[in-house]
Chains A and B, each alone.
Chain A
């Protein structure tokens, strides 16, 4: 095991102090929540020298704490520092927002869920094999390079819905599709953003957040009482893995929201599948039609046609699963 890269570790006492410090370091400071993703990156060091943070700002010391789950006026509010294990085990979330609880329960392993936070999960860097190779072996577009090595390389886990700015790496958050399906909003220190507009493809980041911006809360509207939400994940191993394809769906009378992830550089809203289901009774035929529609715009790369079949299966199974509501 190589030794971890050196960094300074500062405890933020307030949100203002955290974001002011981030601003002062002009991109050389990164927020630190659970640390499970960032410490791994600091050990394996996939980035070029100019992109590493010199300082990590610990958000867990912020007061009042950003670790909470509460429901008020039909809105579920989850503090940005809430651990995934607490979301997975929360009875209220499990009962009314089951896609989110299941997604949290499917992230990595119990040890990681005990540390990792909801904001960290949605802000994780891409885990593309080329991007993640240590020592900046592949200086790809997400590191300020001039080409995407995965486009012509082994892209078996890459995007089946084309590139964004030339990058075909996928977003591997398990929480992301659940938030999109549940029509969540993400509150930062600067603004409120619909979940569907939160993710981006940047160097090296995966969100729209500015250098001095942090997530402070996730807000999820309570789904209609007749609707059911589900989350499904396909991975090589049944535990610990990042998804090969995952997805979440919220389906009820008058509502059909379906999102996939790990299929594109940003979480993918399967709007064509949603349209297919409008006004239909959920049955085998409707589910199959939705599944076909969900991947109708897929354009596989040389190694990943198989992921289309997996994505289709996920959508069909999610839709059928909501039938039992």
Chain B
């Protein structure tokens, strides 16, 4: 079968750091608009016109900020705000313990939890954040006091006048140390006498069904037996994800709340703005609005949500309340002052209420001499930033390999760092997956791609013939995604000519040359199924008299061409011109599908396809009166309705809409309940199949004297099933790779070991790569049609970052012949591995 590949080929302009490229591929006769390069509809973000929450100005608006803890662990013994309250321009002062801050179930301070019923807090959940508590459990935590005043400057002045008596408490920031018997208790409010997170309370089973209820491990087969079957067994340890910032974008949080006339208006930076009621399908939960309604004392449907542009969209913004906390504080202060209040999360030069997932991992791997892995055992103490990835290895090692015998176990401590959350899902899972196969390939002296292909599978089943049978039954093409992405990437990297044994190639410039390969699956958005009959998602299409149409449905614009891609799909299906369709993303009465980020277009292409199809049906039904024909005898193309048998008998959509205005009142509604091809459940533990693969290839030069790793070339290959918009795919490939590379080898929060205080929480010393630090990227999209959504498409947003993190490890090993047992792979660690640090 010919591999159909879409890739970036033709540079639009040369730049030493970036290649801006245009997609070149043959016209697809099946679609007019989908998969095509079209003028983007969301240019406001790059022209600077896009408003963000921080840009909102309302009459009489107050500004508010909070104090942050100077200590890694401390309690507030006494607060004196008498000088603050009398300051001119100060309108309100909130102190921890105030009844207005209490949410049912939270021990103290304003907490936001995902548990039901709304607002109740399960304090045993390690990813729960609180603001304004009396016990600070990490340095920089919003704590003790918040002030509202007429200007940001007055707020800062007022906060300086707060007098606090602290009781410093023992702290622990190292995950291994926290698990030792004599470790200090890191978070007293949890009410435990050890630091270990209770797996029953964490309730991992509800996120990963193959984890037994109340358990902190997942098992398949018999690991002991698998190790005995192995020709060789290796053991190794790594620490990954250590100390990466989890801010999720450089836009500092700002939220505005205004309670007026029994309504609550909110402007905020958030990824999932709306509340979704609990459903049989275990629908995802937007956490902010129900608690906001409760705090404001207004019914949920009297909240007006405004979601200006956001700097980025990451899951971590939702479930630990990262986006919610400033908003809820704004609600409390608006209620108390009667004014609109903007809360500015300005506790640092970048917002850091959460951190990236991190952990210490111990591996035991058995394998045959041909590269077949027979058993894997992993223990880790990784943070549970996202409960779905609570036990590293349970997701990808279980889900996308043929390995029959696996056991992944984790013991998670509470520590004195901000709660971890995911900011590109599956990063640590991808590292764990690749560490197994990279180390096996290295031990055998084999090409890592050979080992990957040998073990690629699906929940212990091989791709061939087991999954071929499923694909055939469900009408999918018999394509092999991993094989195809590897072929495309190898060719682009010129792998066969560049590959060499570890540590074997020193360049004339004195540096070591290295090549790396990593792979993973396409990460589908959550274990929940949004196609259930009781799902709460809607989209509406309103036709205007000028013949244009507006899609209405709420979702956050996080910068992945939402307006463009949504309009492409609806225009395609409805027969409209692309330029005649717009998106109104702030429509409170309809909520587009969750999530906004991971697989956002994948899921939403289902509801948008349905919307386009229904809109076309509606137009044809109305037009049938005009033509005096049955709807089936008519068609629409480029916003012109015509008779199929006699295309010259035609009328514009504008004429039909303006003439029969009443027929279009109320719009056309789609509910997302249409089950389309590819959404049937396969016979696996997952709700949708998982056949898409991705691969990353990197070429590096490592300076043995300075330890610096220069990334010279990067090839990213993603099987996206089908490209809806080439620019959106490429943008996410570029963004993900660059984010991953930064976290792989330049970015690291430095903690003072004696106080637990962050030393570099600013962009001066926290090294996010600049445009001069990133390599040229060859971004390739493969279209196998194996995706589970409406067009055989699947997501790309999460994946490039995950493999970029993983791939650098094997490339540096290939360069210097030594594994670096901890990332980020900064010069400090490279030189340490070489005995120079």
- Partner-B contacts on A (CB < 8 A): 1-3, 6, 40, 44, 109, 127, 129-130, 132-133, 135, 137-138, 149, 152-154, 156, 234, 236-242, 244, 303, 305-306, 308-310, 312-313, 316
Contacts and interface: CB of A to CB of B under 8 A. Distances in A.
Nearest to B703: A313
A244 B706 CA distance: 10
B828 A306 contact: yes
A238 B346 contact: no
Contact of B831 (A1, A137, A309): A309
A309 B706 contact: yes
Given A129-B760, A132-B762, 7 more contacts: A1-B252, A6-B153, A238-B773, A239-B770, A308-B836, A309-B707, A310-B705
B687 interface: no
Contacts of B760: 129
A236 B709 CA distance: 10
Given A306-B707, A306-B827, A236 B770 contact: no
B297 to A, nearest CB: 32
B478 to A, nearest CB: 46
B746 interface: yes
Given A3-B156, A137-B757, A238-B772, A156 B750 contact: yes
B752 A305 contact: no
The 3 closest A-B pairs by CB, nearest first: A306-B837, A313-B705, A129-B759
B746 A2 contact: no
B482 to A, nearest CB: 34
A238 B770 contact: yes
21 contacts: A132-B765, A133-B757, A137-B757, A138-B752, A153-B752, A153-B753, A153-B754, A153-B755, A154-B753, A238-B773, A244-B827, A306-B827, A306-B831, A306-B836, A309-B706, A309-B707, A309-B836, A310-B706, A310-B831, A313-B703, A313-B705
Interface in B814-837: 826-828, 831-832, 836-837
A130 B836 contact: no
Main secondary structure of the interface of B (DSSP, over half): loop
B704 to A, nearest CB: 9
A130 B752 contact: yes
B346 A129 contact: no
Contacts of B759: 129-130, 133, 153-154
B707 A310 contact: yes
A309 B349 contact: no
A237 B706 contact: no
A306 B830 CA distance: 9
Given A129-B765, A306-B707, A306-B837, A1 B746 contact: no
Interface string B202-213: 000000000000
Interface in B749-786: 750-755, 757, 759-760, 762, 764-765, 767, 769-773
B35 interface: no
B70 interface: yes
Contacts of B837: 305-306, 309
Nearest to A240: B770
B561 interface: no
B398 to A, nearest CB: 37
Contacts of B771: 239
A154 B751 contact: yes
A107 to B, nearest CB: 13
A109 B773 CA distance: 13
A309 B762 contact: no
A246 to B, nearest CB: 12
A109 to B, nearest CB: 8
A312 B707 CA distance: 12
B708 interface: yes
B705 A237 contact: no
B152 interface: yes
Contact of A149 (B70, B156, B750, B754): B754
Contacts of B746: 236-237
A261 B832 CA distance: 22
Contact of B767 (A6, A236, A303): A236
A130 B751 CA distance: 10
Contacts of A130: 752, 759
Nearest to A153: B752
A208 to B, nearest CB: 26
A83 to B, nearest CB: 21
B770 A156 contact: no
Given A137-B757, A153-B754, A156-B750, A239 B706 contact: no
Nearest to B750: A154
Given A153-B754, A238-B772, A2 B706 contact: no
A132 to B, nearest CB: 8
B754 A152 contact: yes
Interface centre among B349, B705, B754 (most CB of A within 10 A): B705
A242 to B, nearest CB: 8
Contact of A239 (B750, B773, B827): B773
A313 to B, nearest CB: 4
Nearest to A154: B750
Nearest to B745: A236
Interface centre among B346, B746, B827 (most CB of A within 10 A): B827
A238 B827 CA distance: 13
Contacts of A236: 746, 767, 826-827
A308 B706 CA distance: 9
A308 B826 CA distance: 16
